Amino acid sequence: MTTAPALFPAIDILGGRCVRLLQGDYGQETVYGNDPAAQARAFQDAGATWVHVVDLDAARTGDPVNRQVVAEVAATLDVPVQAGGGVRTLDDARTLFDAGVSRVVMGTAAIEDPELVDQVADLGRVAVGLDIRGEEVAVRGWTEGTGLLLTDAFERFSNRGTDAFVITQIERDGTLQGPDLEGLAAALATTGVDVVASGGVGRPSDLKDLADLAVAGRRLAGIILGRALYEGTIDLAAAIQTLKER
């Protein structure tokens, strides 16, 4: 029996509040709450075995204004936290690990300085966040293209200290229009590193499609859920139970 992907309910923090952006557009923000730690506890109470946290302010500017909020989320939970957003330096990563984060996600800094991934891996578990627009990796809170293709990114990072890839299809993020199954299948075929999918999940059938996705015996290690949880199109507890039964 294969292991079902872990569900990662997401908490995106902007100005200390829980928000979601549409397709990474900071001008299209929806606020869902003012207490990220309380939201994290609710996810844990629903059965989540991970919580995914992003500091959107830091992702855009590099200024870690929400680090204390991230620390509060980690401190309130008994399950591991995966956190990213603006992790530009070794000290940024160390601060998150010291705050109780179990896995740090690096995007912009990893693309600009791949050796930093190895250095962070010496401190703890590190995921490389690959935010994709078309086939191109974007950085700085999805505001800049890099010219780097996803396949090239796999080649660059698969043999480093990468614990997982978090792959986000920007055009689908926050749309609830379904995940990029074809692109994720290609990812599973290309890298032996764990793949965590993000973007587009809007209904329970999307989760089933992702859980059933397999390439040469490899399956997704995780699925990040955002807007679908906040809008109520997916119930977290029910989704976790459904995946356990598959």
The answer to whether residue 136 scores a pLDDT higher than 60 is yes
Query: What pLDDT is recorded for position 63?
Result: 85
Percentage of residues in the chain having pLDDT higher than 70: 98
In a domain, 20, yes or no: yes
Looking at 22-31, 69-78, 231-240, which range is the least confident one?
22-31
**Residue 6's pLDDT is what?**
96
Q: Please indicate, yes or no, if residue 192 is contained in any of the structural domains.
A: yes
- Please give the average per-residue pLDDT across 145-157, as a whole number: 91
CATH of the domain at 65: 3.20.20.70
Rounded to an integer, the average pLDDT of 10-19 is 94
**What is the spatial distance between Cα 106 and Cα 18, in angstroms, rounded to a whole number?**
20
pLDDT of residue 141: 65
Query: Is residue 90 in a domain?
Result: yes
> Is 137 inside a domain boundary?
yes
Q: Tell me which residues are annotated as active site.
A: 12, 131
Structural domain includes residue 1: no
Q: How many alpha carbons lie under 13 Å from residue 2 in its C-beta half-sphere? A: 16
d(CA 80, CA 85): 17
Q: Using one digit for the tens of pLDDT, what is the confidence trace for 177-222?
A: 999 999 999 999 999 999 999 999 999 999 999 999 999 999 999 9
Check residue 206 and give its pLDDT: 96
Ranking 55-59, 76-80, 173-177 by mean pLDDT, the lowest is 173-177
Q: What is the pLDDT of residue 236?
A: 97
What is the arithmetic mean of pLDDT over 57-74?
Answer: 90
pLDDT in tens, 39-61: 999 999 999 999 999 999 988 88
What is the mean pLDDT of the segment spanning 225-243? 94
Q: Name the domain count of the chain.
A: 1
In a domain, 123, yes or no: yes
Q: What is the pLDDT of the chain when averaged over all its residues?
A: 92
Range of the domain at 105: 7-244
Residue 2 lies in a domain: no
Residue 175: predicted pLDDT: 82
Q: Is 236 inside any structural domain?
A: yes
Q: What would the pLDDT profile of 93-116 be if each residue is shown by its tens digit?
A: 999 999 999 999 999 899 999 999
